[in-house]
Amino acid sequence: GAGVSQSPSNKVTEKGKDVELRCDPISGHTALYWYRQRLGQGLEFLIYFQGNSAPDKSGLPSDRFSAERTGESVSTLTIQRTQQEDSAVYLCASSLVVSGWSSYNEQFFGPGTRLTVL
Amino acid sequence: AQTVTQSQPEMSVQEAETVTLSCTYDTSESDYYLFWYKQPPSRQMILVIRQEAYKQQNATENRFSVNFQKAAKSFSLKISDSQLGDAAMYFCAYRSADFGNEKLTFGTGTRLTIIP
């Protein structure tokens, strides 16, 4: 079946502009995650959606960052008033999480969106 | 908060030889999962191997195996019979076993080069 897809693949924007990054998870996956990967670094957790529960926003670095998810489908990560330090690869992942039971649930990653802020 | 440390920014190995990548982590939890992910230049994160903390037996997946030392909080990856396709960034990651706390915490990665 289809994997996690992200668009656009690359995005170049000017400082101060808003950007929207899109993630299409694997069909049926209840959980969706956003991570940020700065150049030469590991992935940093940003936000986590699980079903109808309130999202875990504990990783968002500032109030310029927000994310939405429609049901158990598409998610959009929005960065307002972009800064040069926002330049990074933004990776999305999805997994199937059975409510009330935490077992191993593999996260499947998309190819990421490379954001460059000039 | 949990932390994951990879102290080897770069490693290289001759093709067909064996290499070990190191990872240590810090946590106060007793139940958790540990992972090794591979990231080739395509940026696609690929799960290589996972280990449940409650299992004493080290995980193996074909040429990949881990040495999990829970008391020492160490989780190294051994790649046997290295192949050119193994060249990539390798990330160690931690995940709590608590429901609702599914996020992954990653190390900074080790770039593995395979020498033909």
> Is it the case that residue B6 has pLDDT exceeding 70?
yes
pLDDT at B58 over 70: yes
pLDDT score recorded for residue B97: 86
Of A44, A101, A104, the CB nearest to B50: A104
* Mean pLDDT computed over every residue of chain B: 94
A106 near B CB under 8 A:
yes
Closest CA to A77 of A20, A115, A30: A20
pLDDT band at A105 (very low <50, low <70, confident <90, very high): confident
pLDDT tens-place string over residues A50-62 = 888 889 999 999 9
A76 has pLDDT over 90: yes
Quote the CA–CA distance of B112 and B30 in Å, as a whole number: 31
Distance between CA atoms of B91 and B97, rounded to whole angstroms? 19
Question: Nearest-CA distance from B113 to chain A in Å?
Answer: 15
Q: Where are the beta strands (DSSP E) in chain B?
A: 3-5, 10-14, 19-21, 24-26, 32-39, 46-52, 60-61, 64-69, 74-79, 88-96, 105-106, 110-115
pLDDT at residue A97 is higher than 80: no
Asked if the model's pLDDT at residue B85 lies above 90, the reply is: yes
Is some CB atom of chain A closer than 8 A to the CB atom of B113?
no
Least trusted range by pLDDT, from A53-57, A97-101, B36-40, B111-115:
A97-101
- What pLDDT does B99 receive? 77
- By DSSP bridging, strand B10-14 and strand B110-115 are parallel
Return residues 63-92 of A near B (CB < 8 Å). 89, 91
Residue among B115, B113, B18, B37 nearest B75 (CA): B37
